[in-house]
């Protein structure tokens, strides 16, 4: 077990389905916000970590040392170094860091007066990609993966005055990483999400699940886990607006499963009702807002609250509108999801990694269903055991953070991964992990498809046997022929399951106008969408779509000067929020679908 898990799991509990991993729900508590300006040092040779023999140095930058006398020569100084804003990526904050991949050291000083008989945790919303965290010169642990939260207990290390946090963040890509070396989005490095100090009681509620029981609209079930020294307690669950309160006793490990009948209004895009839920124990209280809905499949249909639903979607990258860089604020979320609502969406695919918590919270409130996925993308090292453990941990952290969110209906385990027996075993392992942690949601992946003749696309990827919903990316009319090619295409599958066309589209530079056969023009993209939608309408087992993509986003793969300029131009909007002609084509189609209901 690595240091992050030792630090994070203060105690190991025998929870069904959680024999090796458990996670703490810390993000919903009051906290000391550490966002703002952090001093930073660029360290491309990692001299702040290794000595000249390439061995970890006991006197690295994490010591935050100062000269002890006039002849002492310390070759760094955080306090006289420049600052970066946290949360934020370094690439968009400094011109000289635009393409930088490597190590940057962050440092933040703070005071903290701890209350009596409490515990204290340092929480990071995310850091891309590998973070090693130190407090007052002592290593707390490390975390790998750029899009999920992690925490360390600092109860016995934090002091009332003059604390300093130092974080080594390294965003270098590697073949064994998740994602791997090659992606089609910008590798934004840094402390990209919120950082906070959280104080809890000595024994606190570390995690809980509150959901409708699978297959039921009238029974709520879940579990509660305590963490600390007084584990055998009475706990309660209250739904304020439903006038419900239930009490239970935890066992000697601090765990209790529960189930009780409840009459609640069901969450849906048309009526995204949320309930104020409070979980209490003898020593702690935690709460949040939760919606209740069911999601399941029947043959080729997706059923929301027992009724067929067509997912009118769009894919979204975590790219900030207007200013660019990694999106993180509540305003970013409201802008991006507001555009999706304006488009007529009831569904968004958050590609290709778990997005920040503001996106999921806003989707809950706005009534947008979500496909959430981990960055198992393209050419992962399928036979590398450590790569699988990394992917599994990122999947677990994503589910643990968001499993009480009504908006999330699908967990996705991969995107566009090439067929092979090792790949199938790898992804089957992730599917098993997801089902263990959350049996209430649908599992999917953007899978492979192929031609069986000149006009027939077949979906028979063997992964389809193990997921609930077939996902498929296709670019007929862009990478595959001209838009008119779609007119003759027919789709088949060997599975009796619903299909989401998880990507289709083509690039256009906003404001570039030409005829409908001129690449990069708005007219070409408009034509492509017109032909694509006519083709998709004919697929009998289609239950949704999430075209690629809402807004133009940065990608180092997209280099064409004057057109791409390091941006993927497949957005329906420019990075400045300007609507391309294809936006209105899809908007009109979604409006027609709503009228046909």
User: CA-CA distances (angstroms) from residue 213 to 74, 298, 303, 360, 424?
Assistant: 60, 18, 15, 22, 30
Q: What is the pLDDT of residue 31?
A: 82
Upstream peptide bond of 352 is cis (omega within 30 degrees of 0): yes
Pick the CATH number of 3-201 from 1.10.10.10, 1.10.260.40, 2.60.120.260, 3.40.710.10: 2.60.120.260
User: Edge-to-edge strands of the sheet including 130-135?
Assistant: 83-86, 36-42, 103-110, 163-170, 130-135, 138-144
Residue 46 CA to its chain's centroid (Å): 29
Sheet strand arrangement including 150-153: 31-33, 195-201, 118-124, 150-153
Q: What tokens appear for 188 in the block? A: 């934004």
What rounded mean pLDDT belongs to the chain?
A: 94
- The residue-averaged pLDDT of 193-212 equals 96
Residue 537: phi and psi, rounded to 5, are -60, -25
Quick one: which of 97, 77, 101, 90 has its CA closest to 164? 77
Residue 274 burial by Cβ neighbours in a 10 Å radius (0-12, 13-18, 19+): middle
Q: Which homologous superfamily is 297-596 in?
A: Glycosidases (3.20.20.80)
Asked if residue 14 has pLDDT above 90, the reply is: no
The beta strands (E) that lie in 431-539 are given as 442-447, 450-453, 456-459, 469-473, 490-493, 499-503
| pLDDT number for residue 30 | 74
Give pLDDT, residue 17. Answer: 28
pLDDT score of 305 more than 90: yes
Instruction: Calculate mean pLDDT across residues 281-288.
Output: 94
Report domain extents, the chain: 3-201, 297-596
Q: What is the pLDDT at residue 2?
A: 39
pTM for the predicted model, two decimal places: 0.94
Q: Which residues of 378-390 are buried (b: 16+ CB within 10 A; e: fewer)?
A: bebbbeeeebbeb
Tell whether the model's pLDDT for residue 5 goes beyond 90.
Answer: no
Per-residue pLDDT tens digits for 73-86:
999 999 999 999 99
Assess contact for 58 and 64: CB atoms under 8 A: no
Residue with tokens 């027919």: 490
Q: Please, is 548 exposed, middle or buried when counting C-beta atoms within 10 Å of its C-beta (0-12, 13-18, 19+)?
A: buried
Mean pLDDT of 419-428: 98
Compute the residue count for the chain.
Answer: 597
Give the C-alpha separation, 497 to 483, whole Å. Answer: 27
Q: Is the pLDDT of residue 7 over 50?
A: no
Mean per-residue pLDDT for 240-257?
Answer: 95
Q: What tokens does 410 get?
A: 């699908």
DSSP 319: B
* Angle at which helices 522-536 and 581-596 cross, to 10°: 20
Cα 595 to Cα 283: distance, rounded to the nearest angstrom: 52
pLDDT band at 26 (very low <50, low <70, confident <90, very high): low
User: Would you state the pLDDT for residue 312?
Assistant: 98
Residue bearing tokens 């949601």: 441
pLDDT in tens, 249-265: 999 999 999 999 999 99
pLDDT of residue 298: 98
What percentage of the chain has pLDDT greater than the value 90? 93
Q: What mean pLDDT do residues 390-414 have? A: 97
Question: In the structure, what pLDDT confidence band is assigned to residue 23 with cuts at 50, 70 and 90?
Answer: low
What residues contact 200, with CB distance under 8 A and at least 6 apart?
26, 29, 118, 119, 120, 121, 284
């Amino acid at each position: 077990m690595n240091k992050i898990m030792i630090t994070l799991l203060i105690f190991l509990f025998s929870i069904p389905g959680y024999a090796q991993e458990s996670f703490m729900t810390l993000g919903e508590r009051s906290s000391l916000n550490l966002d703002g300006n952090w001093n930073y040092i660029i360290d491309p040779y990692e001299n702040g970590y290794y000595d000249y023999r390439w061995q970890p140095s006991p006197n690295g930058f994490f010591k935050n040392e100062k000269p002890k006398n006039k002849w002492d020569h310390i070759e760094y100084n955080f306090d006289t170094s420049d600052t970066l804003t946290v949360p934020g990526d370094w690439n968009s904050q400094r011109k000289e860091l635009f393409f930088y991949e490597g190590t940057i050291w962050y440092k933040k000083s703070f005071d903290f007066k701890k209350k009596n008989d409490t515990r204290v945790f340092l929480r990071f919303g995310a850091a891309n990609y590998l973070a090693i965290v130190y407090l007052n010169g002592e290593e707390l642990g490390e975390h790998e993966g750029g899009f999920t939260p992690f925490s360390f207990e600092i109860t016995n290390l934090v002091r009332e005055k003059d604390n300093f946090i130092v974080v080594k963040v390294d965003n270098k890509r590697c073949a064994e990483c998740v994602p791997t070396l090659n992606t089609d989005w910008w590798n934004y490095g840094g402390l990209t999400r919120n950082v906070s100090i959280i104080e809890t009681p000595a024994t606190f509620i570390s995690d809980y699940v509150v959901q409708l029981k699978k297959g039921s609209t009238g029974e709520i079930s879940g579990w509660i886990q305590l963490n600390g020294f007084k584990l055998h307690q009475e706990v309660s669950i209250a739904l304020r607006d439903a006038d419900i309160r239930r009490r239970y006793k935890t066992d000697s490990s601090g765990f209790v499963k529960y189930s009780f009948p409840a009459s609640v209004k069901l969450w849906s895009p048309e009526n995204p009702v949320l309930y104020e839920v409070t979980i209490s124990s003898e020593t702690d209280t935690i709460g949040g807002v939760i919606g209740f809905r069911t999601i399941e499949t029947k043959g080729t249909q997706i059923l929301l609250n027992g009724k067929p639903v067509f997912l009118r979607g769009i894919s979204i990258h975590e790219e900030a509108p207007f200013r660019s860089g990694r999106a993180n604020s509540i305003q970013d979320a409201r802008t991006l999801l507001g555009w999706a609502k304006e488009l007529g969406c009831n569904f968004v695919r958050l590609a290709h990694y778990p997005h920040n918590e503001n996106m999921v919270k806003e989707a809950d409130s706005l009534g947008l269903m979500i496909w959430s996925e981990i960055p198992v993308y393209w050419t992962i090292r399928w036979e590398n055991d450590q790569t699988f453990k990394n992917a599994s941990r990122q999947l677990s952290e994503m589910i643990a953070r968001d499993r009480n969110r009504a908006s999330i209906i699908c967990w996705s385990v991969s995107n566009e991964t090439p067929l092979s027996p090792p790949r199938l075993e790898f992804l089957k392992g992730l599917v098993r992990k997801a089902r263990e942690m959350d049996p209430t949601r649908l599992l999917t992946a953007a899978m492979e498809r192929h031609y069986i003749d000149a006009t027939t696309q077949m979906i028979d990827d063997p992964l389809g046997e193990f997921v609930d919903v077939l996902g498929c990316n296709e670019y007929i009319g862009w990478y595959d022929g001209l838009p008119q090619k779609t007119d003759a295409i027919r789709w088949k599958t060997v599975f009796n399951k619903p299909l989401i066309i998880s990507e289709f589209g083509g690039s256009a530079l906003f404001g570039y106008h030409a005829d409908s056969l001129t690449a990069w023009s708005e007219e070409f993209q408009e034509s492509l969408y017109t032909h694509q939608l006519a083709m998709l309408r004919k697929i009998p087992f289609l239950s949704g779509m999430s075209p690629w993509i809402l807004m133009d986003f940065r990608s180092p793969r997209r280099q064409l000067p004057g057109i791409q300029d390091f941006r993927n131009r497949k957005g329906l909007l420019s990075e400045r929020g300007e609507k391309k002609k294809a936006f209105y084509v899809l908007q009109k189609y979604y409006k027609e679908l709503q009228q046909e209901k």
